[in-house]
Amino acid sequence: MKLDTLASWARRLRVRDISSRELTEFYLGRIDRLDSQLNSFISVTPDLALAAADAADERLARGEEAPLLGLPVAQKDIFCTQGVRTSCGSKMLDNFIAPYTATVVERMNTAGAVMLGKTNMDEFAMGSSNETSHYGPVRNPWDPERVPGGSSGGSAAAVAARLVPAATGTDTGGSIRQPAAFCGITGVKPTYGRVSRYGMIAFASSLDQAGPMAASAEDCALMLNAMAGFDPRDSTSVERPAEDFTAGLRADLKGLRIGLPREFFGEGLDPGVRAAIEAALAVLRERGAELIEISLPNSGLSVPAYYVVAPAECSSNLARYDGVRFGHRCDEPRDLTDLYTRSRAEGFGAEVKRRIMIGTYVLSAGYYDAYYLKAQKVRRLIADDFRRAFGQVDVIAGPTSPETPFRLGEKSADPVQMYLSDIYTIAVNLAGLPGLSMPAGTVGNLPVGMQLIGNYFDEARLLGVAHQFQQETDWHARMPAPFV
Amino acid sequence: MQWETVIGLEIHTQLNTVSKIFSGAATAYGAEPNRQACAVDLGLPGVLPVLNAAVVEKAVMLGLAIDARIAPRSVFARKNYFYPDLPKGYQISQYELPIVEQGYLDIDLEDGSRKRIGVTRAHLEEDAGKSLHEGFTAMTGIDLNRAGTPLVEIVSEPDMRSAKEAVAYMKKLHALVRYLGISDGNMQEGSFRCDANVSVRPRGRTEFGTRAEIKNLNSFRFVERAINFEVERQIDLIESGGTVVQETRLYDPDRDETRSMRSKEEANDYRYFPDPDLLPVVIHAEDIEAARRRLPELPDAKRERFISAYGLSAYDAGSLTASRELADYFEAVAAGCNAPKLAANWVMGDFSAALNRSEAGLAQSPVSAEALAQLLSRIQDETISGKIAKEVFDAMWSGEGEADAIIEARGLKQITDTAAIDAIIDEVIAANPSQLEQYRSGKDKLFGFFVGQVMKKTRGQANPAQVNERLRARLQGD
């Protein structure tokens, strides 16, 4: 059987050219054969998958229509899935079988998706390289010595190697877009509030947002149709009429105003990445887009502001992992304090502990104003920058990451270097805007991602621009050789 | 030295919603442990809180009732600390921007004067679960049924100057939340509990002394006793050369003393910050007006009305309006017998006494307002005397039926026939010639003897006023 895209599989399933069971077995076979090279899955669930595939086949036979009916997907292991281990990449939750299902997963299941398994990730989504996972690092399919990015590194690598046609990710500071860029796939971080956070294990609640990761913009649109929507169980989810994200794919680029923030093309940007992005921008200009230089003057403050807000929220969100009700509990605690300290010391990895400590510190009496409150003010300034920019342009474009995938271990010893890997993506989360990363070229053998940033709830436009770009180029269709 | 006591109270009131403040689980009291705790209450990974709108409405009603400012925008914050019965490792509360600010309550002092007690703020929060220590060895049980129960914490200014004032304030607030119908106020079940901040200072000094906070007082009596103990402890300490340290103390009712729980140094840094899972609570002017229209008549207004409409004394009106149920009961009785003062006397007198003896609540009273009104109507229309009415009331209380039926069955109807009364008087006079002689020679006190004899012969059923009138005439030989 030959590989195909999610959208194409969907068409073929509908005309009964192939069954969901055949498709599911095909991808399960690929995972079985190839994932030892990548470590992109934490759990593979073949029994559940085949049962779901059979159910989908029955629905297809009845002529039912559902957006993802019969299509194999993978869920990032941050989403609670009833009856299946939901580890969040942590030893803390290695024994946690979720007793309920996240809204995103529930919506996808209702839409007919067939879950093949749960993908690897940085522990509690804290990392940019997938090296902080309790289940070991994920390898980049383009070069096994390099990282796939993080925190949704497992989803990105699995999609890039076509172990699954599409997967979910979550993005708190770039965790969908940066790994999508590193692995040469398309990923969307929707507007904050577009996709329900219920059942998605919280890292930083005001920044976390789930989104699709797939080979193309068209596939992402298909996924987003199923994932997005108001959820009364999430107070921060936004009530809006349902949107068909595939409808805007045929958008015309003529007259589209694309803003290029000068701050995203300055110091620290790898020359190879710059060249690839400029070439990609030239394609968009040829299709009629207008390129306008803009400024986001406060974007330099985004990394420091983020590393106050995100750890602050995480220090509180992760307090529930105390060894009392679920998750890791140390052996034979002497007393309550021992139970807390040992369970948490054993259950959490180093990066998670670092962020809990930073967060605890910045919220402490006497430091709150100087750190947390200040960071929230910076956040407003960053959002204001974008608001001004969107008065001038329709979308903003630039590199997703300043560099191509780095080597495993290269930045593990230097957290600040690691944090700078997300320098172009973090501002988008702080402002709550939608962002997309798409394959835009290569440096050597390694993929380069271009980021598109839209105004609030303008995902359809981003997907349209990406789709049009993907009509002109084939970066998104290229695959790492060992997995073809 | 003369000492002055300074007291401020923080009162936690459970709001009587059907479901919890941030989840759909039920709030009913007394279920099997952990049967009323859903995924959200357990703090499972990935769950999110959703605010129960009924809670906001109740807080707004409270705010209006204490003439406070209702915040157009208030914010839920996380109070972070570790405790086994606190599932998320933080309590969702309100901190910098509470829903209610700057209200007051007027309390009545023993000397008849009124005093205004400021209410600094009232904020919404969720309750924690319960740690169970009994029935476990070397372990603690956790019951999370209570986790997520909606509370409003009402914080007073340090305006009270004695334990009695503190109790008066607490009682007033207790009556108010029940009037408003926002809390059942059940103190045994912890629906209404109090932390008292207590300090002393030399009389005349303006700055406050160092305070101790006494936690979790769940009865009016304990509040009074705990404060009195604490005041004495602090004065003794200072007078013997010591200093009061800022700390949290627990009151032990068995030993009637307070004990140190933790000092300021051991206190948690709660690292409050706005809860990113919840949107700010926005309250529009229309919402406030809608809540205002739903407000029932409040205790003070009711009291004034009882004085002016029924001609009751301030004291009686105050007693009858101390609880909404009692006030409602009184009004039903008064309306039924058309004699408000008689109704007031009976409701506060025999009826309340019987209720106290039975230790039942008003709702369980075996004598309904209608039944009591019927009884009082029989006094009014002189079918029975007030004295006989007590006997009938006792019979009613023990379930013998309605007043009319009991009067009939026991033959208690008052004798008002003048001829019949005269006949009995004549019999009594004839039977007691020596007493008659003494009376006529000036021993007036014997009048009572004759009354007694007449009443005895009529088994108390003769109309007392008529007996007096006819007897006096007869004895004087008219």
pLDDT attached to residue B441:
83
Interface of A with B (CB under 8 A): 79-80, 86, 88, 93, 96, 98-100, 102, 197-202, 204-206, 232-236, 312-313, 315-316, 318-320, 322, 324-327, 336, 340, 360, 363-365, 368, 372
- Identify the three-state secondary structure at position B126: strand
**C-alpha to C-alpha distance for A345 and A330, rounded to whole angstroms:** 9
Quickly count: other Cβ atoms within 10 Å of residue A140's Cβ: 32
Tell me: the pLDDT tens digits for A41-82?
999 999 999 999 999 999 999 999 999 999 999 999 999 999
**C-alpha to C-alpha distance for A392 and A386, rounded to whole angstroms:** 10
* Mean pLDDT, range B83-110, rounded to an integer: 95
End-to-end CA separation in angstroms for chain B: 73
**C-alpha to C-alpha distance for A216 and A249, rounded to whole angstroms:** 11
Q: Is pLDDT above 60 for B130? A: yes
Chain mean pLDDT for chain A: 97
B383 phi, psi to nearest 5 deg: -65, -40
Confidence of residue A251 (pLDDT cuts 50, 70, 90): confident
Q: Is pLDDT above 70 for B478? A: no
For B273, the closest chain A residue by CA position comes to A363
Q: Please indicate, yes or no, whether the overall pTM of this predicted structure exceeds 0.95.
A: no
Whose tokens are 């004067």? That residue is B113
CA angle A23, A98, A114 (to 5 degrees): 10
The number of C-beta contacts closer than 8 angstroms across A and B is 98
In contact, B376 and B382? CB cutoff 8 Å:
no
Distance from CA of A198 to the nearest CA of B (A): 6
**Nearest residue to B63 via CA among B14, B101, B21:** B101
Indicate the residue of A316, A320, A336 with minimum beta-carbon distance to B87.
Answer: A320
DSSP state of A95: T
Confidence of residue A131 (pLDDT cuts 50, 70, 90): very high
pLDDT attached to residue B426:
86
pLDDT attached to residue B265:
67
Indicate the residue of B43, B272, B279 with minimum beta-carbon distance to A320.
Answer: B43
In contact, B166 and B198? CB cutoff 8 Å:
no
Q: Is pLDDT above 60 for A243? A: yes
Q: Is pLDDT above 80 for B414? A: no
pLDDT attached to residue A328:
98
Distance from CA of B342 to the nearest CA of A (A): 56
For B140, the closest chain A residue by CA position comes to A336
Confidence of residue A331 (pLDDT cuts 50, 70, 90): very high
Interface of B with A (CB under 8 A): 39, 42-51, 78, 80, 82, 84, 87-90, 142, 269, 271-273, 276-279
Tell me: the pLDDT tens digits for A169-198?
999 999 999 999 999 999 999 999 999 999
Distance from CA of A213 to the nearest CA of B (A): 21
Residue B147 tokens read as 């986790």
Whether residues A233 and B50 touch (CB distance < 8 A) is answered with: yes
For A341, the closest chain B residue by CA position comes to B82
**C-alpha to C-alpha distance for A275 and A253, rounded to whole angstroms:** 22
* Mean pLDDT, range B448-465, rounded to an integer: 84
B128 contacts: CB under 8 Å, gap ≥ 6: B83, B85, B86, B91, B146, B147
Q: Which of B273, B279, B281, B282 to mutate to test the interface with A (most CBs of A within 10 A)?
A: B273
Q: Which strands, in side-by-side order, build the sheet including A290-294?
A: A41-44, A114-119, A72-76, A166-171, A209-214, A186-189, A435-443, A446-454, A395-399, A257-261, A290-294
Distance from CA of A86 to the nearest CA of B (A): 9
pLDDT attached to residue B207:
94
**Nearest residue to A330 via CA among A347, A354, A348:** A347
Q: Is pLDDT above 80 for B412? A: no
Tell me: the pLDDT tens digits for A372-409?
999 999 999 999 999 999 999 999 999 999 999 999 99
Whether residues A316 and B142 touch (CB distance < 8 A) is answered with: no
Confidence of residue B363 (pLDDT cuts 50, 70, 90): confident
As a whole-number percent, the residues of chain A with pLDDT over 70 amount to 100
Cβ-Cβ contacts under 8 Å, B51 against chain A: 235
Distance from CA of A214 to the nearest CA of B (A): 24
Confidence of residue A226 (pLDDT cuts 50, 70, 90): very high
Whether residues B42 and A313 touch (CB distance < 8 A) is answered with: no
As a whole-number percent, the residues of chain B with pLDDT over 70 amount to 99
Whether residues B45 and A372 touch (CB distance < 8 A) is answered with: no
A476 contacts: CB under 8 Å, gap ≥ 6: A184, A185, A186, A215, A216, A217, A438, A439, A470
Instruction: Look at the alpha carbons of B142, B144, B145, B146 in this order and tell me if their dihedral is positive or negative.
Output: positive
**Nearest residue to A9 via CA among A112, A139, A117:** A112
**C-alpha to C-alpha distance for A303 and B157, rounded to whole angstroms:** 43
Residue B13 tokens read as 């009131």
Distance from CA of A335 to the nearest CA of B (A): 9
Whose tokens are 């003896």? That residue is B357
For B84, the closest chain A residue by CA position comes to A324
DSSP A420-445: HTTTTTHHHHHHT--EEEEEEEEETT
- Give the CATH number of domain B418-475; options: 1.10.510.10, 1.10.1660.10, 1.10.1740.10, 1.10.10.410: 1.10.10.410
Tell me: the pLDDT tens digits for A261-270?
999 998 889 9
Whether residues A364 and B269 touch (CB distance < 8 A) is answered with: yes
Cβ-Cβ contacts under 8 Å, A234 against chain B: 48, 50
pLDDT attached to residue A406:
96
Indicate the residue of A205, A322, A325 with minimum beta-carbon distance to B276.
Answer: A205
> At A353, which helix (H) or strand (E)?
helix A350-362
**C-alpha to C-alpha distance for A426 and A435, rounded to whole angstroms:** 10
Q: Measure Cα distances from B356 to B186, B273, B403 in Å.
A: 17, 48, 21
Burial of B307 (0-12, 13-18, 19+ CB in 10 A): middle
In contact, B78 and A316? CB cutoff 8 Å:
yes
**C-alpha to C-alpha distance for A191 and B475, rounded to whole angstroms:** 103
Tell me how long chain A is: 484
Whether residues A368 and B271 touch (CB distance < 8 A) is answered with: yes
Domain segments of chain B as ranges: 3-266, 297-410, 418-475
pLDDT attached to residue B396:
87
Whether residues B46 and A365 touch (CB distance < 8 A) is answered with: no
**C-alpha to C-alpha distance for A220 and B239, rounded to whole angstroms:** 77
Chain mean pLDDT for chain B: 91
Whether residues A363 and B80 touch (CB distance < 8 A) is answered with: yes
Whether residues A100 and B88 touch (CB distance < 8 A) is answered with: no
Instruction: Supply the ipTM of this predicted assembly.
Output: 0.96
Indicate the residue of A316, A325, A364 with minimum beta-carbon distance to B90.
Answer: A316
As a whole-number percent, the residues of chain A with pLDDT over 90 amount to 95
**C-alpha to C-alpha distance for A172 and A426, rounded to whole angstroms:** 8
Phi-psi region for residue A447, left (φ > 0), alpha (ψ -120 to 50) or beta?
beta
Q: Is pLDDT above 90 for B471? A: no
Quickly count: other Cβ atoms within 10 Å of residue B476's Cβ: 9
Whose tokens are 């207590």? That residue is B198
Q: Is the peptide bond before A151 cis (omega within 30 degrees of 0)?
A: yes
**C-alpha to C-alpha distance for A11 and A18, rounded to whole angstroms:** 10
Whether residues B80 and A320 touch (CB distance < 8 A) is answered with: no
Residue B265 tokens read as 């140094």
Cβ-Cβ contacts under 8 Å, B20 against chain A: none
Q: Is pLDDT above 90 for B135? A: no
Whether residues A319 and B51 touch (CB distance < 8 A) is answered with: no
pLDDT attached to residue B365:
87
DSSP A378-399: HHHHHHHHHHHHHHH-SEEEEE
Cβ-Cβ contacts under 8 Å, A326 against chain B: 44-45
Whether residues B48 and A98 touch (CB distance < 8 A) is answered with: no
Indicate the residue of B46, B50, B279 with minimum beta-carbon distance to A80.
Answer: B46
Task: Please list the active-site residues of A.
Answer: 76, 151, 175
End-to-end CA separation in angstroms for chain A: 12
**Nearest residue to A139 via CA among A463, A346, A408, A476:** A408
Tell me: the pLDDT tens digits for A422-476?
899 999 999 999 999 999 999 999 999 999 999 999 999 999 999 999 999 999 9
Whether residues B46 and A360 touch (CB distance < 8 A) is answered with: no
The stretches of B75-120 forming alpha helices (DSSP H) are: none
For B79, the closest chain A residue by CA position comes to A316
pLDDT attached to residue A348:
98
**C-alpha to C-alpha distance for B144 and B42, rounded to whole angstroms:** 7
pLDDT attached to residue B29:
84
Phi-psi region for residue A76, left (φ > 0), alpha (ψ -120 to 50) or beta?
beta
For B80, the closest chain A residue by CA position comes to A316
Whether residues A99 and B269 touch (CB distance < 8 A) is answered with: no
